[in-house]
A and B are shown apart, each in its own frame.
Chain A
């Protein structure tokens, strides 16, 4: 059996291909970076290094090859022969890969091919499915294709190694291996893949991850950035941040409890387990990486505003989630284009208009007002490029 994995980044290599290869599938990557594609073909393998505070374990993923995404006919030929197509390209790139997938599926002799979107947002399967359907319009595959979301729980923090060299690249992540796949949209039965859980409650699983783990991760990143830390494991050592991260996750968890019940929401121990994952210094997970693209992360259904709105429905005041939203509005590393753009919009249009634009709040929404109040409290006396010394009584360094 063969899997085509579109995307040669952290999730494509560090999760999707590793699990599929371990299940015995042949792996063909589709990548847009010629240097990485050439490297994978030359070296034929890479390493997934799973780390925690005590140990690390290497998994060598062998027998891989790759084709360039610009070589559309070769990509289509590979996809036409694939049993599984996996994508891990980031939500902004789904539209651009849809024609490649559609072209491959149109040529395929298989009646049904599973397409799994290993993307970190809930509606990735639906989005990609629509894009592919648009490309397949009028073909015999138009009504038979399907795309399932595949929710990744592992953090893959970084890639090490030089694609120009001959040593295998190393993808460093934590030990979480579970991938939840949306049962409702599978095109055909999946082969047994260790770590892959087919679930009928995919949306709930997505919200569980976003509203607890991702909410806590983002809170640590944005508050950590304000206080000038470089790494997530450092930020959560700061007692103020640790307490707020835990509280933000608790707000999300209470919202999940009201919506889905305890099976999905988990309990206090669940949150401490998540927090201990943030303590994992071996990941060297930087605050800039985790906070990257606050515009996407402040979206209505994403990790901060999503649980805040659900919490409000359940009668919970999401104070710490809104604090994290305020901190996200101040997140502006120079290398983060989306963050810089948000910062510019806030300067030009004011914080309320900017937040409403990215999060879908109406200007008179009380949650938006509380986030903007917190933002103003932080921003009013902030010297340029300064660090916050205390969250309680804002004093800047």
Chain B
């Protein structure tokens, strides 16, 4: 069984130990695991071949995604699929899909010019985000029209969400092959211990939301960023194949899932464990 991870190399002080442990476990279980850093090589597009039974797309860089696209064209089996990963990068398409799947999200807007958002501020603050971004990078919280001057206007569509206060904690729901795990952690998380947070039992409401996301996007491994109250949760972001930090025995669970997915790939069985064909309930 040959598995490749497409990754971006991180400095050791910011790197989560989970992915390293996943790779070690898969190796111990007999898988032939290769880590590919697209940023560190010259890729000949004439020679891209699907040499591995399964590719795990961990990198969220443009080059990582592009390489995944080339592998996809060469017939590779990728976790999560290339087309889905592309869609998840685009906050406009992502939000539209979430809304179509009846997943509660904050009111969202898109425009060409940040200044056009000014009239919306009378109803409350907005979080303006790069439409192709992830995490908190490039996010501007805008309370007053003059704050919009700080938002870059030359970087493509401007995406904004109605700000829902998350207070001093954030809520993550992780989805691993049909299983869901909740983690609450300090916001903003500064240390690794902060990032690990505290596990909690996922409520039926959050469970339903996560399942809807899995079905809507056709993915089995993702994280949801949840804001809002217990009774009125809102999904503000969805990340494909995150580090799963904070999930108890995360490395073991993720390795178990990837091992199973690789077996499915080698036996030409359907890849999606939970998302395919299961209605949200």
Contacts and interface: CB of A to CB of B under 8 A. Distances in A.
A397 interface: yes
Contacts of B249: 227, 238, 389
Interface string A384-397: 00110110000111
Interface stretch (A63-71, A119-127, A229-237): A229-237
A395 B256 contact: no
Given A230-B256, A234-B255, A387 B30 contact: no
A281 interface: yes
A237 B260 contact: no
Contacts of A390: 248
A231 B28 contact: no
B207 A229 contact: no
Contacts of A397: 179-182, 199, 201-202
A53 B181 contact: no
B253 A229 contact: yes
Contacts of A281: 28-30, 259
B263 interface: yes
B276 interface: no
Interface in A151-194: none
B20 interface: no
A381 interface: yes
Interface in B236-281: 248-249, 252-253, 255-257, 259-260, 263
Nearest to A231: B256
A230 B253 CA distance: 9
A237 B249 CA distance: 10
Given A282-B30, A284-B263, A234 B202 contact: no
Interface residues of A, number: 22
Contacts of A227: 249
B266 to A, nearest CB: 10
B201 A237 contact: no
Nearest to B260: A230
Nearest to B198: A395
B202 A383 contact: yes
B25 interface: yes
Nearest to B256: A234
Contact of A231 (B181, B202, B248, B259): B259
B202 A387 contact: no
Contacts of A230: 256-257, 259-260
Q: Which of A281, A395, A396: most chain B CB closer than 10 A? A: A281
A238 B252 contact: yes
Contacts of A266: none
Given A228-B253, A238-B249, A397-B181, A386 B29 contact: no
Q: Which of A53, A381, A389, A396: most chain B CB closer than 10 A? A: A389
B135 interface: no
Contacts, number: 56
Interface string B203-221: 0100100000000000000
A395 B30 CA distance: 32
Contacts of B260: 230-231
Given A237-B25, A281-B30, A396 B253 contact: no
Contacts of A395: 199, 201
Contacts of A228: 179, 253
Nearest to B29: A281
A397 B198 CA distance: 11
Contact of B201 (A231, A233, A234, A386): A386
Contacts of B25: 237
A53 B259 contact: no
Interface in A202-235: 227-231, 233-234
Contacts of A237: 25, 252
Contacts of A387: 179, 181
Interface string A357-397: 00000000000000000000000010100110110000111
A238 B248 CA distance: 10
A229 B201 contact: no
Contacts of B207: 383
Contacts of A383: 201-202, 204, 207
Interface in A40-60: 53
Contact of A386 (B28, B202, B257): B202
A389 B248 CA distance: 6
A234 B259 contact: yes
Nearest to B25: A237
Contacts of A381: 201
Closest A-B pairs by Cβ, 7 of them: A281-B29, A234-B256, A389-B248, A397-B181, A396-B201, A228-B179, A230-B260
18 contacts: A53-B28, A228-B253, A229-B252, A230-B256, A230-B257, A233-B29, A234-B256, A234-B259, A238-B249, A238-B252, A281-B30, A282-B30, A383-B202, A386-B201, A389-B248, A389-B249, A397-B180, A397-B182
Given A229-B252, A281-B29, 11 more contacts: A229-B256, A230-B257, A231-B256, A231-B260, A237-B252, A281-B28, A281-B30, A281-B259, A284-B263, A389-B181, A397-B180
